[in-house]
Amino acid sequence: MKKTVKKQPALPGASAAIGFRPEFLDFQRGIRVGRLEDHERITRILKLALETRFGQPFVTERYGRGMYWQWIGLLPRANRAAKPLSSHVSFGCSKYFLTVDGGAGVFKCGLQVERGYVRASGGAGQFRLQDDWDWHRLMNSLKRGSGMERELKRLLREGFRVAAGSWDAGARDFGQAEFPGAGGLRSVLDAAPKGQWAGFQVYYPMTEEEVRGATGCDLVESMLAVFGEVTPAMNFCMDIRL
């Protein structure tokens, strides 16, 4: 990772405890989670590390099945429990996430906030945006000169990127040079079609070459360092604070 992102140890004695390996981030199949021991499985390693750091339980979510998952999310259980309408689902919660984007050849980890559907019908009703979702806090935080804008600009200077818009139609992706400011970003998010799933990500990208050149322990420490860097922005969106 770039020097501006400070690494933090995953756990005391992490190098001895972690069996995760770079090849578990497979740029064709996804993130390997199956047929592994607990000390090799990234979901177990990150969950334990976050619970140790913040002193509270986390929930693991995923997209995918079998031995390889395409996306993994981790969220504070207390933030989900605080939601009067949506405490039974995780869609409305801000999450730390990781994914392998094979098409772009990039491993991404960072912060994700989902909007869901503003209009939904039939069986899609459970994915409809609710009044207690973190999305609303995110949108309210996107103002010129706001704390969120300062955080996003800081992260972009450090090599992070921002993705925003419809996942179905293709979200827009911004680096430091293209960032439209908090107000412009809000406009991009407002423009996402109401009948499509939409969201917001702040992520740190790593190429396949960078992943292959690191050790498993280095990668875990880098993921946790990224999570630490995006936590202030995440706190602007949640019912609780980490």
pLDDT in tens, 18-68: 999 999 999 999 999 999 999 999 999 999 999 999 999 999 999 999 999
- How much is the pLDDT for 13? 44
Cβ proximity of 50 and 227 under 8 Å: yes
CB within 8 Å of 32: residues ≥ 6 apart: 23, 24, 25, 26, 67, 68
Domain ranges of the chain: 14-235
Taking each continuous run of H as one helix and of E as one strand, the counts in the chain are 8, 9
- How much is the pLDDT for 126? 76
- How much is the pLDDT for 121? 65
Q: d(Cα 99, Cα 94) in Å, to the nearest integer?
A: 16
- How much is the pLDDT for 209? 98
Which class does domain 14-235 fall in?
alpha beta
Crossing angle for the helix pair 42-54 and 216-235, to the nearest 10 degrees: 50
Look at residue 38 and give its three-state secondary structure. coil
- Please list the ranges in the chain whose pLDDT falls under 70: 1-16, 120-124
- How much is the pLDDT for 10? 43
- How much is the pLDDT for 5? 54
- How much is the pLDDT for 149? 98
- How much is the pLDDT for 119? 83
Q: d(Cα 27, Cα 209) in Å, to the nearest integer?
A: 11
